[in-house]
């Protein structure tokens, strides 16, 4: 085989389908986010980011930055080792206590990212519990799917958010067979929310463990930012809650929270926890400050919801089709990979608006979309410019407008 030719031919196929990924080179402006500089070759232009998962702007929160500066001055740059070999700093210990408290659990365990936490926790539980059956929601995140696959445990996929289908699968199993139901709270591409109480009821009835990914909900929902499970009063019913420190908390890292024995089990058996350098102490300090802040401050969450409602209403008024859902994610449906990329390019080139096109394989073919994530740091002028630009491009691309019920 001619390896280089093979790589090129595969990339050419992606390009032809409109699915080739191009990353925007951004320099976020601390204190002025969502505004950033975008570099294209020698040129630099100012853009407004409308697709960030820094949902609340916590990545520039002064308390977070101060905690990070302070820890950097005290402890230096890196942790210097795996958690087992000299990498457990006091900042890690404090952060894990903060996370256990956030989710009302006995304990928590940190990972280098949300992806790694899902991959490591699911693969460890499913592979180390004898004869474990994993019941996985059809739209679970790639990190969950990869973790389950790696475990080599039997896996059955239930139709997305379909508890009747989940029950059918559970009922067909012996009651004493170990089972793990894996699902998310807020699904990040459609913005819909799992029927969590019903899933917990089924878990009780059929003696299953529950594994909940709250990545797109922590910091954003619940009186202390504990996620949808906190908002619904269900945290105590979930076996394991997984989250990220990289989205609403504005830093980086992932974690699980659960019982002391389960966290200790994963700590002791998960390769993805054991054999990798711990997060830098300054990162742990920043994340802890962010969580602490959002446990008591409600303004960010309230303003976030208000801004989301405002953008939705404006899009509805302009006839731009978007998916109604009970969360903060606004999927604007284009339904064609080439047009989706074209609109995204025009938004950036002509209007200084950055919204990454979401194409296959992140979403199914034919459901290509622009995923808009308003935040408290988007100004009314930012909103005006967004709606105006989308309206302009909708006309130019001859995309149909829709009549949606006013909210
Ligand atoms: C982003 C994401 C993850 C991974 O979290 P990171 O901290 O970004 O690695 C896990 N689950 C879901 C649903 C996600 O969207």
User: What tens digit of pLDDT does each residue of 313-327 get?
Assistant: 999 999 999 999 999
Q: For residue 255, give the nearest of 355, 149, 246, 182 by alpha carbon.
A: 246
**How high does pLDDT run on average in the chain?**
96
Edge to edge, what strands does the sheet with 35-40 contain? 25-28, 35-40, 43-49, 353-354
The pair phi, psi for residue 29, each rounded to 5°, is -95, 110
CA–CA dist 373, 315 (Å, integer): 13
- Expressed in angstroms and rounded, the spacing between residue 115 Cα and the centre of ligand 1 is 5
Q: Determine contact, residues 371/355, Cβ cutoff 8 Å.
A: yes
Q: What is the band of 405 on the pLDDT scale with cuts at 50, 70, 90?
A: low
Which distant-in-sequence residues (6+ apart) come within 8 Å of 270 by Cβ? 120, 121, 123, 124
One of 105, 247, 295, 341 is an active-site residue; which one? 247
Determine how many CB atoms are found less than 10 A away from the CB of residue 42: 5
Residue 382: the pLDDT is 98
Residue 197 has pLDDT above 90, yes or no: yes
Residue 17: the pLDDT is 78
Q: Which residue has the tokens 């509805």?
A: 316
SS3 224: coil
Residue 255: the pLDDT is 99
Residue 312 has pLDDT above 80, yes or no: yes
CA–CA dist 277, 20 (Å, integer): 32
Percent above pLDDT 90 for the chain? 92
Residue nearest to atom 7 of ligand 1 (CA): 114
Residue 192: the pLDDT is 98
The pair phi, psi for residue 300, each rounded to 5°, is -60, -45
Residue nearest to atom 6 of ligand 1 (CA): 114
Which distant-in-sequence residues (6+ apart) come within 8 Å of 374 by Cβ? 50, 304, 307, 308, 310, 311, 328, 330, 383
pLDDT tens readout for residues 129-152: 999 999 999 999 999 999 999 999
Residue 73: the pLDDT is 98
Residue 92: the pLDDT is 98
Quick check: is 205 catalytic? no
pLDDT tens readout for residues 367-384: 999 999 999 999 999 999
Percent above pLDDT 70 for the chain? 99
- Expressed in angstroms and rounded, the spacing between residue 82 Cα and the centre of ligand 1 is 22
Q: What is the band of 406 on the pLDDT scale with cuts at 50, 70, 90?
A: low
Rounded mean pLDDT, 271-284: 98
Residue nearest to atom 8 of ligand 1 (CA): 114
Residue 16: the pLDDT is 87
Residue 392: the pLDDT is 95
Q: Does ligand 1 lie within 6 Å of residue 140's CB atom?
A: no
Q: Is 405 exposed, middle or buried (0-12, 13-18, 19+ CB in 10 A)?
A: exposed
């Amino acid at each position: 085989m001619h390896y280089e030719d093979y790589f090129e031919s595969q990339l050419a196929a992606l390009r032809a389908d409109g699915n080739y990924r191009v990353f925007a080179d951004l320099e976020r402006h601390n204190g002025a986010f969502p505004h950033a500089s975008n570099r294209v070759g020698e040129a630099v232009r100012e853009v407004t980011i409308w697709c960030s998962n820094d949902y609340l702007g916590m990545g520039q929160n002064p308390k977070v930055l101060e905690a990070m500066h302070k820890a950097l001055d005290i402890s230096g740059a890196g942790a210097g080792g795996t958690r087992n070999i000299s990498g457990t700093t006091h900042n890690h210990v404090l952060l894990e206590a903060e996370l256990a408290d956030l989710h009302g659990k006995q304990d928590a365990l940190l990972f280098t990212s949300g992806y790694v936490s899902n991959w490591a926790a699911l693969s460890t539980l499913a592979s180390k519990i004898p004869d474990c059956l994993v019941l996985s929601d059809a739209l679970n995140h790639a990190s969950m799917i990869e973790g389950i696959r790696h475990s080599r445990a039997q896996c059955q996929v239930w139709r997305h958010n379909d508890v009747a289908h989940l029950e059918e699968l559970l009922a067909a199993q012996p009651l004493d067979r170990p089972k793990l139901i894996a699902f998310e709270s807020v699904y990040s591409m459609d913005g819909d929310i799992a029927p969590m109480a019903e899933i917990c009821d089924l878990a009780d009835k059929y003696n299953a463990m529950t594994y909940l990914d709250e990545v797109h909900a922590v910091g954003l929902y619940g009186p202390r930012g504990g996620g949808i499970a906190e908002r619904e009063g269900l945290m105590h019913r979930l076996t394991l809650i997984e989250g990220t420190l990289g989205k609403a908390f504005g830093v980086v890292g992932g974690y699980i929270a659960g019982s002391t024995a389960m966290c200790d089990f994963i700590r002791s058996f998960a390769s993805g926890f054991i054999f990798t350098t711990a997060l830098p102490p300054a990162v742990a300090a920043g994340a802890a400050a962010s969580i602490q802040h959002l446990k008591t401050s409600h303004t960010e969450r309230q303003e976030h919801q208000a801004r989301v409602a405002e953008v939705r209403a404006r899009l509805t008024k302009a006839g731009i089709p978007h998916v109604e859902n009970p969360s903060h994610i606004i999927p604007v449906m284009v339904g064609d990979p080439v047009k989706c990329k074209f609109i995204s390019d025009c938004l950036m080139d002509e209007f200084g608006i950055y919204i990454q096109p979401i194409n296959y394989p992140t979403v199914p073919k034919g459901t290509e979309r622009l995923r808009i994530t308003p935040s408290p740091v988007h100004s009314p002028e930012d909103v005006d410019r967004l709606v105006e630009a989308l309206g302009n491009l909708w006309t130019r691309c001859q995309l149909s407008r829709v009549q949606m019920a006013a909210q």
